[in-house]
Amino acid sequence: MTDAPLLEVRGLRAGYGQVNVLHDIDLSVGTGEVVVVLGANGAGKSTLMSAMSGLIPHSGEILVDGSPVGHPRPDQMLARGISLVPQGRGTLTALDVTDNLRVGGTGLGSKKDVDEEIDRWFGIFPRLAERADQIAGTLSGGEQQMLAIARALMSRPRLLLCDEISLGLAPLIVQELFGTLRRVSAESGTALLLVEQNAELALDIASRVYLLEVGAVASSGTADSFRENNNIRQAYLGY
Ligand SMILES: Nc1ncnc2c1ncn2[C@@H]1O[C@H](COP(=O)(O)OP(=O)(O)OP(=O)(O)O)[C@@H](O)[C@H]1O
């Protein structure tokens, strides 16, 4: 047993070419914890998710269960139980719903295990079950986001990184998605790290918050302390 956070980054820096976007980020997510990263457009939230999941190079340290993991590839982070729902719905648009889920479950082992896991997600997202044979690219935006989430969860991750899953979706669909994520997290102990513009919903489901400004952590604390902070409330919740 270790008391170390499931995922921790220390002094994380990352960017594109010569341009550094993230400046010495320190952040952690504990086992089963729900944490949100808030920040304005361009603050570096997606860059942070990409760096933590091995999609872009970084300097500084990434630790899983207290052990530095060097510069892992995304599949190596997945093997450690960390799965990403990328911004813009990470579905394989030419494959049908079932095959998308099958790809997500590649590491599970036997076909029986994969089929059982697909059935589990069809139970959680009945709308996907009704569209099991539909090509993913023809699903509605909300359905594609459900599929992207279910696909990322097919690997039974310990931590799900979600990059702005509410983007471009109707409020009712967003509420449904957040409700499902909250339930899945509570029932299976999956930790969540959510990057969100929708601060209201994110603060409802998260216990801790990091606020990113111009590529650096401007503040962090409990969701309650963020709600009680007048400046943050006005800037991010609009009241
Ligand atoms: N592939 C890229 N190449 C070069 N610069 C990039 C690339 N992706 C992002 N950037 C730049 O990095 C900075 C941070 O962008 P990022 O997408 O991480 O912000 P964000 O907080 O996720 O914003 P948003 O909420 O608008 O999605 C921005 O200035 C952006 O222009």
Segment 129-143 shows an average pLDDT of 94
Instruction: Determine the average pLDDT of the residues in 54-58.
Output: 92
Q: What is the pLDDT of residues 70-92, one digit of tens each?
A: 999 988 999 999 999 988 777 88
Q: How many A from CA of 43 to the centre of ligand 1?
A: 7
* pLDDT tens sequence across 6-28: 999 999 999 999 899 999 999 99
Calculate how far, in angstroms, residue 91's C-alpha sits from the geometric centre of ligand 1.
Answer: 21
For range 31-60, the mean pLDDT: 94
Q: Which atom of ligand 1 is nearest to the CA of 215?
A: 14
- Which of 16, 212, 214 most suits a substitution to test ligand 1, by most atoms within 8 Å of the C-beta? 16
What is the Cα–Cα distance from 129 to 75, expressed in whole angstroms? 27
Q: What is the pLDDT of residues 180-215, one digit of tens each?
A: 999 999 999 999 999 988 888 889 999 999 999 999
CA 58 to ligand 1 centroid distance, Å: 15
Instruction: Phi first, then psi: give them for residue 44, nearest 5 degrees.
Output: 115, 15
Q: What is the ipTM of this complex?
A: 0.95
Give percent of the chain with pLDDT exceeding 90.
72
Pocket lining: 86 vs ligand 1, CB cutoff 6 Å? no
Which of 76-80, 142-146, 169-173, 228-232 is the least confident region?
228-232
pTM score, whole prediction: 0.92
Coil, strand, or helix at residue 34? strand
CATH 3.40.50.300 fits 7-89+156-237, yes or no: yes
Q: Which H helix or E strand runs over 13?
A: strand 7-16
Q: Which sequence spans correspond to the domains of the chain?
A: 7-89+156-237
CA distances from 190 to 84, 145, 157, 187, 238 (A): 13, 18, 7, 8, 30
Residue 1 has pLDDT above 70, yes or no: no
Find out whether 211 and 219 touch, Cβ atoms under 8 Å. yes
